[in-house]
Amino acid sequence: MSRSSLQLRADAEQIWWAGVRAVLPERLVREHVRVEGDLLQVGKEPIDLHSVRRIAIVGGGKAAGAMAAALEDALGPDVLREKDVTGWVNVPADCIVPTQRVHLHAARPAWVNEPRPEGVEGTQRMLELIGSLGKEDLCLCVIAGGGSALMPAPVPEVSLGDKIRLTRLLSAAGADIHQLNTVRRSLSLVKGGGLARACRAGRLISLVISDVLGDSLADIASGPTVASSTTANDALAVLSELDLLDEPTLEPVARYLSRRAEQEDRGLAQPEQIRTRVTNLVIGYNATAVSAAGDEAARLGYVPSTISSQRGEGPAEEVGRHLAGMARHMSDNPGPDCLISGGEPTVRLVDEAERGAGGRNQQLALAALTYLGDSSGIALLAGGTDGEDGPTDAAGACVTEDVVDAAGRQQLDPREFLRRNDAYRYFAATGGLFLTGPTHTNVCDLRVVTIERESRVESQEPEGGTP
C-alpha cells in the first residue's frame, strides 16, 4: 500500500490521538475508583463509607478538572449526597468542564503557563476547605501536570511577581523539571507536601496523572502531597548551576533562600509534620499513551517501534535531530516503519528581544526538519499530550514533504527560525501546526513518525526510472 504525504500525516495524527485517548481521566479514574455497596475502592485500598462523614475533592492541573468530573461519576449520586461531597480544583480557563459538586476555578488563562493572582486566590480557598475537615472526613486530591503554576501559594517573604520572574528565568536558562521544582518547593506553602500538611482530614488520597519522566511523585505538580526531600541549600545550588544566583531581579528570592538555608543548617527550620494519613496513587503514565499509540499503528498496518523515556532527554534540538536520524534509517532499511516515542526535552531560549513564538515540540519538529531535508516519504509529528506547547495555541507541529515544499516556495530558512525559537511562525506559514485544543490530560509529549518506503525509494531513483 502506497501512502501519500497527506496519508502519512493523517495516520500519524490518528496514532497520536489513540495514545491520548488511553490516558483520558474518565478512563483512568474509572479503572481505579469504584463504589461497591458500602465500600469505596481506590486502587487496592477499600474504605468503609460508614466511617466517612464527609468527602472533599481538591487539587489542580491541566487534567484535574476532567479528573474531578470523573471522580464525581465514580462516586455516584448517592455518595455525593450522603457524604456532602464538595470541592475546589484549580484548572486553566479553557479546561473547565461540567461538574456536579466540585467548583472548578480558572486559575490562569489558556496558554499562560505561569502563576497568576487568580491562582493564588483559588489555592487559598482550597487550603481553607481542607483545613476545615476533621478526622472522620476523607480528602480526595486530583493532581496533574501544570499544577505547579495552577496552585501558587508563595511564602510571605517572596511575592508572586518574584516567583513569576524566577519561573521565566529558570525556563529561559533551560532548567529541567527537577531543577524547577527544587527551587519552587522551597518558596511555596503548598508544594513539597504543603497541601498534605494543611489537611485536617483523617485520610488523604491523591490520584495523580504523571507528566514527569520516571513518574517521581515529588516532581508532579511539585509534589503537594509528598514531603519534600530537597532543601533551600539545594535550591541555591540550582540557581548557582544556572548562573542565576546573582541575577538582580531575583535578589528577594536569593535572600530568602539564604536565610532559610542558614536556619536549616542550624536545625531551626523543620517543616510541620503531616498529620493526615496520605496515599498517593499514580493512575496515568506516558508509557500508557506510547503503548496505546503503538497498538493503533499496528491496526493501521504499520510495524511500530516504541520507546518511553524515563529520564530527562536534553535539548529539543538534539532530540529532534536524533528522531530524524532514526526516521531516515527506518526509511532506508527493512524493519519497523513507524516510530513512537514519549518524553520531554528542554529548550534554552534566546534573548527576549530576538525570541519568537513556539514550544518544545515545535522546536523539536523544526530541528528534525533541518536534518530530514525534503522529508520525502516521512511524516514526523511531535505534540504535547495536554494540547498546549509553550505559550501558543498549538499542541506541536508536523513535518512532511508538503510542509517543506511550502517553506521552499516562501523561501523560509528553517535554521533561522530555529535559532530564534520561532518555530510557531514557521509552521503557521507552512501548514505544519498541530492544533488540538485542550485534551484534558497530560502525560508529557508524544511523537509519531510514519514511513512510506516506496516513495522514498522512488525519490532516489535516477531520472528515467529503473531500467
**Which tens digit of pLDDT belongs to each residue from 211-256?**
998 899 999 999 999 998 899 999 999 999 999 999 999 999 999 9
Q: Is 346 left (phi over 0), alpha (psi -120 to 50) or beta?
A: beta
CATH number for 24-153+188-228+271-284 (one of 3.40.50.300, 3.90.1170.20, 3.40.47.10, 3.40.50.10180): it is 3.40.50.10180
pLDDT for 435-445, tens place per residue?
Answer: 999 999 999 99
pLDDT at 37: 93
pLDDT for 294-337, tens place per residue?
Answer: 999 999 999 999 999 888 788 999 999 999 999 999 999 999 99
- Name the least confident of 43-47, 174-178, 418-422: 174-178
Fold of 5-17+286-459: glycerate kinase, domain 1 (3.40.1480)
pLDDT at 272: 79
Under the banding of pLDDT at 50, 70 and 90, the label for residue 461 is very low
pLDDT at 463: 33
Give the mean pLDDT of 348-352: 88
pLDDT at 466: 28
pLDDT at 132: 97
What's the chain's average pLDDT?
A: 93
- Name the least confident of 147-161, 173-187, 189-203, 370-384: 173-187
pLDDT at 451: 97
pLDDT at 174: 84
Say which residue, 111 or 367, is predicted with more confidence: 367
Under the banding of pLDDT at 50, 70 and 90, the label for residue 104 is very high
Give the mean pLDDT of 11-40: 97
pLDDT value at 111 more than 70: yes
pLDDT at 270: 73
pLDDT at 34: 96
Under the banding of pLDDT at 50, 70 and 90, the label for residue 448 is very high
pLDDT for 54-98, tens place per residue?
Answer: 999 999 999 999 999 999 999 999 999 999 999 999 999 999 999
| In contact, 447 and 342? CB cutoff 8 Å | yes
Domain map (residue ranges) of the chain: 5-17+286-459, 24-153+188-228+271-284
pLDDT at 1: 57
pTM, to two decimals: 0.89
